[in-house]
Amino acid sequence: MDQSLLPNIYDFISHTYPFSQLDTLAKDAVATAVKISYHSPDDVLDNEQLTGAGLYMVRVGAAEEINKSDNSLRARLGVGDSFGYSQINKQGESDYKITFLENTLLYFISKQMLQFLINKNKTVGEYFNSKEWVRLSSTHKNNEESNTIPSFTERTVSSVCSTDVVIINEETTIQNTALQISQMHTDVALISNDNSTLQGIVTKSDITARAVATGLDIKRPIRDIMSRTVLTVDGKRPIYDALELMVMHNIKCLPVLDGNKIIGTVTTRQLLTHSQLQAVYLNKDIQNAPDLEKLIKISKHKKEVFETLVETGVEPRIVQKVMSHFCDLYCQRILQLAEENFGKAPCAYAFAAAGSLARNEVQFLSDQDNCIITERDLTETERKYFADLSDFVCKSLDKCGYPLCDGHFMACNPKWCQGYSTWTHYYDSWISNTNEDAILNSSVFLDMRCLYGDEFLVTKLRQHLIKAVASNSRFLATLMKISANVTPPIGTFRQFVLTKDGKNNPSLNIKKQAINLIVEIARLYGLSAGTLKCDTYLRLEDAVKHDLIKEDEFRELYEAYTFLNKVRFKHQLQSLKSGSPMSNHLEPSVLSQFERNHLRDAFRIIARHQQAALFRFTGGIGILG
């Protein structure tokens, strides 16, 4: 090889994942070992050129992988893409061939050199793992573009918690407990009879509310006022697990345990010091807002929370749960304001979330999907009450940054503000008739969660749905066929995509063409398993428990769903920072090589699971081509 080419090869290796993760010596070794080949349009690589050979990387040009079994397109390859690894342990006939679309320059790394690198570097080994989900899981810690993520995102709760904590016996008097809390300049005491195992917790406010305000003798033992049911967090967990618990349960201090042993406490102040997050404090601001104007003002902080969560590398699932929790709080406070304005409801009712909020999967672009279920059919006067209430709630949510639903799947639409019996009729009609248009237009309500009011109405309705689905397999088959009308864009590179955005430009609709497909697969398995849960991750877990999918298949869908949301949130964050309109459409030019490589893995996983679900629910009718 011409030695003058080495600097160019080294530079390419240094900027191509996962080789960019190698140390300088290993990069030198790879650059020296690279072989270069040139190919013209219509040249072909086949059989022994691929089987048992090594790894090819496209340096300049473009090519196609063609399946030899049916001559179908396997993938299109551009600069930085690689091929050959899947054939590295084969002999003789290769599974696919490579045809070149234009003049192309390839870099080649032999099987022996690649195996050396895989054994030497964990990142390289994970990247070339035969399982897509392993490759996707490696992106959580090895994303070459995430070097701006502060190191604290990988820190454990024990690394930030305080070990200077008041631990007292349950026989300690209320007065002495208050004294020790004051001397330690803290707000909480943990109760343990053996100075290790947690029996309970008491705070300054507990002493004030449960002892001082009620005139209880302060010589009484602390056990009389302590809380015995205590939320705790394992010290080995990441700090955002503690944040999630605090946000979800509106608490400011968590005991930290190692197994069953007390090791300290973690407070919102400590988390904020290490994460710069304001999420915890938004809880009380929303709950205590005196009017709609204050809620609208507070809503501007949602942007800061979303930005910080994504910037600091928080797992997408937690981002969605935190954003969903805020939406829950807005709905609940607005409904309280509505009842203050319109008076007490004439009958029991539930205000329920549908769609992404029901699944706890809200993100910055989520709109409203909701409904009202009343305990009985309504009179005209009662309908007027709920019409006024729902109109106020939906318009107020819109003003707080939760846009009105374009499809009008909201409680302010009279169709979706109905008595329980009407809702059961809706479900029975959708399930028995299996009309594709009706199901497609109403599938948003297959996910439902109570936000306010009589939770039993929602639970009972979900139980009715599960029972009706169990007696009509055609319904699930219809749902699966509708879902399979959209397929992931496998096999593309520069124009990843087969849809148009609002400006008629080619783009990847990451929501429609990928994320929603996993949501729909999980929904099918959830309904089939008879679970009342709506969360996509939890539905997949229950699918494993009911032996509908295997553990490895769960890992595939879990990692694909997580990675796709990471990509979506990253690009939404970039739009927020640049002031450009946010969208689920990603232009090919904004996708990095790293993202393209792993998006292909995610797309292959989705396509495989679509096929498996089609066979399971339809017997293969309408199977993907």
- What CA–CA distances, in Å, run from 427 to 420, 438, 525? 11, 11, 18
Q: Which residues pair with 83 in a beta bridge?
A: 56
Answer whether residue 295 is part of any domain. Answer: no
Q: What is the CATH number of the domain that holds 318?
A: 3.30.460.10
pLDDT confidence bin for 591, thresholds 50/70/90: confident
Answer whether residue 310 is part of any domain. Answer: yes
Answer whether residue 142 is part of any domain. Answer: no
Res 191: pLDDT: 95
Res 557: pLDDT: 96
Res 78: pLDDT: 82
Res 140: pLDDT: 63
* Gap between the terminal Cα atoms of the chain: 44
Res 51: pLDDT: 94
Res 390: pLDDT: 97
Whether pLDDT at 622 is above 70: no
Whether pLDDT at 443 is above 90: no
Which stretch, 60-69, 178-187, 332-341, 616-625, has highest mean pLDDT?
A: 332-341
Q: Pick the residue with more confidence: 530 or 156?
A: 530
pLDDT confidence bin for 621, thresholds 50/70/90: low
* Pair 519, 425 in one domain: no
* pLDDT (mean) for 318-328: 90
Res 471: pLDDT: 86
What is the torsional sign of CA 186, 188, 194, 197?
negative
Question: CA 301, 584, 501: angle at the middle one, nearest 5?
Answer: 130
Q: What is the CATH number of the domain that holds 57?
A: 2.60.120.10
Whether pLDDT at 623 is above 80: no
Res 496: pLDDT: 45
Answer whether residue 102 is part of any domain. Answer: yes
Assigned token pair, 9: 């090869």
pLDDT tens track for 217-230: 999 999 999 999 89
* Pair 405, 318 in one domain: yes
Domain boundary pick from 411, 440, 471:
471
Longest dimension (CA), the chain: 92
Res 533: pLDDT: 94
* Pair 252, 317 in one domain: no
Number of domains in the chain: 4
* Pair 63, 165 in one domain: no
Distance CA 320, CA 317 (A): 5
Average pLDDT for the chain: 87
pLDDT confidence bin for 426, thresholds 50/70/90: very high
* Pair 393, 493 in one domain: no
Distance CA 181, CA 202 (A): 10
* Pair 124, 196 in one domain: no
pLDDT confidence bin for 433, thresholds 50/70/90: confident
* Pair 333, 466 in one domain: yes
Residues spanned by the domain of 595: 482-618
Res 348: pLDDT: 97
Three-class SS of residue 78? coil
* Pair 430, 511 in one domain: no
Whether pLDDT at 374 is above 70: yes
Distance CA 441, CA 439 (A): 5
* pLDDT (mean) for 383-410: 96
Domain boundary pick from 420, 446, 471:
471
Res 144: pLDDT: 41
pLDDT confidence bin for 441, thresholds 50/70/90: low
Answer whether residue 15 is part of any domain. Answer: yes
Q: Pick the residue with more confidence: 200 or 502?
A: 200
Res 593: pLDDT: 73
- Cβ(593)–Cβ(16) under 8 Å? yes
* Pair 176, 83 in one domain: no
Res 132: pLDDT: 75
Q: Where are the beta strands (DSSP E) in 204-252?
A: 233-234
* Pair 61, 195 in one domain: no
Res 596: pLDDT: 81
Whether pLDDT at 518 is above 70: yes
Res 147: pLDDT: 40
Assigned token pair, 126: 């994970």
Whether pLDDT at 487 is above 70: yes
Burial of 104 (0-12, 13-18, 19+ CB in 10 A): buried
Distance CA 252, CA 289 (A): 19
pLDDT tens track for 554-586: 999 999 999 999 999 999 999 988 888 888 888
Burial of 614 (0-12, 13-18, 19+ CB in 10 A): buried
* pLDDT (mean) for 528-543: 95
Distance CA 567, CA 592 (A): 10
Q: What is the CATH number of the domain that holds 528?
A: 1.20.120
pLDDT confidence bin for 285, thresholds 50/70/90: confident
Res 157: pLDDT: 87
- What CA–CA distances, in Å, run from 177 to 189, 196, 206, 253, 549? 7, 17, 11, 17, 52
Whether pLDDT at 83 is above 70: yes
Name which of 103-107, 189-193, 335-339, 437-441 the model is least confident about: 437-441
Answer whether residue 40 is part of any domain. Answer: yes
Distance CA 207, CA 360 (A): 35
* pLDDT (mean) for 502-511: 73
User: Which of 375-409 are b and which e, b meaning 16 or more Cβ less than 10 Å from the residue's Cβ?
Assistant: beebeeebbebbbebbebbbebbeebbbeebeeeb
Closest listed residue to residue 501, CA positions, set 580, 447, 448, 436: 580
Res 136: pLDDT: 79
Answer whether residue 14 is part of any domain. Answer: yes
Question: CA 77, 80, 82: angle at the middle one, nearest 5?
Answer: 60
Answer whether residue 624 is part of any domain. Answer: no
Domain boundary pick from 424, 444, 471:
471
* Pair 386, 446 in one domain: yes
* pLDDT (mean) for 195-207: 91
* Pair 338, 248 in one domain: no
pLDDT tens track for 22-78: 888 888 889 999 999 999 998 999 999 999 999 999 999 999 989 898 888 877 888
